[in-house]
């Protein structure tokens, strides 16, 4: 497939190895990878509540670029980006008035939105292509997992998907009660007390266990676990296969 890799702000600007490993595994799976030559925010769920037209504009630009490149799919590394771009895509395809307004803006950039490709998180794509991934027969150790909120809440993929990928990579997944609870990463700057509360909850869930790695499926979660003091253990899911 022709794939537009959209890493999102966090991976592109703070943790570029997430983008690199994701691009590498997409290539290994035989996909032709395209990327924008500049960084633009997806609009996030925050902008949606402030200015809906601006929210539509940010994500529609990404969708229009993917359509112009004749991509079959947009792949992201961020749960929020996946949710946001998908919601904008659905909203514009359902509302011709909004679509016309957006296309009036896009026309100034010689872009047009008509049949934008679908949007998948890299975890979704890897899980769909699990049968094509090289399974490790070696026991590499133990792992905690942290699912991405914006994927689990929408039911886009089974709750077991990340665990299945980690096991395929050769790790034993240790279950804990916080794997589907928000990591608090988006609150690190805006509401530090909320992040501290959620971090404390995770410490208690870990109950003194010491896994070899902690696997996350969202770049914001990656930041959260670095902030919690697990920089030496946290891994993004695509790193397991690149």
Residue 172's pLDDT band (cuts 50, 70, 90)? very high
Beta-strand pair 118-121/141-146: unpaired
Which among 29, 38, 195 has a CA at the least distance from the CA of 127? Answer: 29
155: pLDDT strictly greater than 80: no
pLDDT at site 242: 81
**What is the fold, at CATH topology level, of the domain defined by 2-127?**
Glutathione S-transferase Yfyf (Class Pi); Chain A, domain 2 (1.20.1050)
Q: Where are the domains of the chain?
A: 2-127, 136-240
What pTM was computed for the model? 0.91
Q: What is the mean pLDDT of residues 215-234?
A: 93
For residue range 208-221, list pLDDT tens digits in order.
788 999 999 989 89
Q: Which DSSP symbol is given to 33?
A: E
For residue range 3-18, list pLDDT tens digits in order.
999 998 888 888 999 9
What's the rounded Cα separation, in Å, for the pair 191 and 189?
6
What's the rounded Cα separation, in Å, for the pair 31 and 234?
26
What's the rounded Cα separation, in Å, for the pair 203 and 229?
11
Q: What is the mean pLDDT of residues 43-68?
A: 87
Q: What is the mean pLDDT of residues 101-130?
A: 94
One of 1.10.1760, 3.10.260, 3.30.70, 3.40.50 is the CATH number of 136-240, namely 3.40.50
Backbone dihedral angles phi then psi of residue 3, each to the nearest 5 degrees: -120, 130
pLDDT at site 47: 74
Q: Which DSSP symbol is given to 116?
A: P
- Nearest 5°: the CA angle 12, 216, 219 is 20
């Amino acid at each position: 497939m022709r794939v537009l890799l959209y890493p999102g702000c966090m991976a592109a600007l703070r943790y570029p190895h997430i983008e690199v490993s994701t691009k590498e595994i997409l290539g290994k799976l035989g996909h032709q990878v395209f990327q924008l030559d500049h960084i633009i925010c997806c609009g996030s769920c925050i902008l949606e509540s402030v200015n809906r037209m601006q929210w539509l504009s940010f994500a529609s630009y990404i969708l229009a670029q993917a359509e112009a490149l004749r991509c079959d799919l947009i792949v992201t590394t961020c749960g929020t980006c996946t949710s946001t771009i998908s919601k904008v895509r659905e909203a514009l395809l359902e509302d011709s008035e909004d679509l016309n307004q957006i296309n009036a803006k896009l026309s100034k950039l010689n872009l047009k939105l008509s049949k934008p490709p679908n949007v998948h998180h890299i975890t979704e794509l890897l899980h769909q292509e699990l049968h094509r991934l090289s399974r490790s027969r070696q026991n590499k150790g133990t792992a905690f997992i942290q699912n991405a909120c914006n994927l689990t809440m929408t039911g886009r993929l089974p709750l077991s998907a990340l665990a299945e990928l980690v096991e395929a990579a050769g790790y034993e997944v240790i279950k804990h009660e916080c794997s589907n609870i928000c990591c608090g990463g988006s609150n690190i700057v805006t509401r530090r007390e909320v992040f501290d509360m959620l971090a404390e909850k995770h410490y208690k869930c870990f109950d003194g266990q010491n896994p070899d790695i902690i696997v996350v499926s969202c770049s914001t979660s990656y930041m959260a676990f670095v902030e919690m003091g697990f920089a030496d253990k946290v891994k993004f899911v695509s790193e397991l296969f690149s």
